[in-house]
Structure 1
Amino acid sequence: MELIERLQSIIIDTTRALDLLDTGYATVISASPLTLCIEATRLNVTEPVAVMTDNVRYKAVTVQGETVVINKGLKPGDKVLYLKADSGQSYIVISKV
């Protein structure tokens, strides 16, 4: 193997090993504290490693004295789409699926 081919191989392997950013699906095991079961690895991750975006947080507003729920939030059994960052140091829940 020539030097250039070997260097390319090393760069590709290193980039894959870093695993900087990835997406996937998970199942919510618990909403408080947030606990996810990652489908690909069956790994359970919990807060603070697992975090929610505003898209999946509970939201309610009061309109003319009545509470209107805008987003129900997460509950056990929900399927979610996550973004894995920092080589698996953070799992950011983007949305329910």
Structure 2
Amino acid sequence: MLDIIKKASLSAVGSTNPVAVLYGTVTSVNPLEVNVDQRFSLTEDFLVIGESMTEYKLNIDGQDVLIRKGLEIGDTVLLLRYQGGQTYLVLDRLVKPS
């Protein structure tokens, strides 16, 4: 009986696809568009962008200093698909090791 309950619960969780991790490439910045694995493109209507992915400048002594750059065309990003598959979180920008 316990095995049947375990199998049923695992099947239910698996069929809902709670989270998926995907890679994408930024193809447009304004408006934002990300191509996912060369299969489909996501527009900004489907994307949630964390603050760490936005440009941040400070004005120090009359001069703008770039603290953090925003997303740029060609950036590879790590995406998390929310349950249900309609919304994607841009988690981080991926870099190549040097």
Q: What TM-score do the two structures reach when normalised by structure 2? A: 0.81
Which among 45, 48, 52 is matched to residue 42 of structure 2? 45
* Matched letter for residue 80 of structure 2: L
Higher deviation after alignment, 81-90 or 70-79: 81-90
Structure 1: gaps of 5 or more residues: none
Query: Cα RMSD over matched residues?
Result: 1.9
Q: Are 1:30 and 2:22 matched, yes or no?
A: no
Q: How many residues align?
A: 94
Per-residue CA distance 1:14-71 (angstroms, 9 max, x = gap): 21121112222111111122211122x7221111211210111111110100001112
Structure 2: gaps of 5 or more residues: none
Q: What's the % identity of the aligned pairs? A: 27
Deviation at 1:11, TM superposition (A): 2.7
Q: What TM-score do the two structures reach when normalised by structure 1? A: 0.82
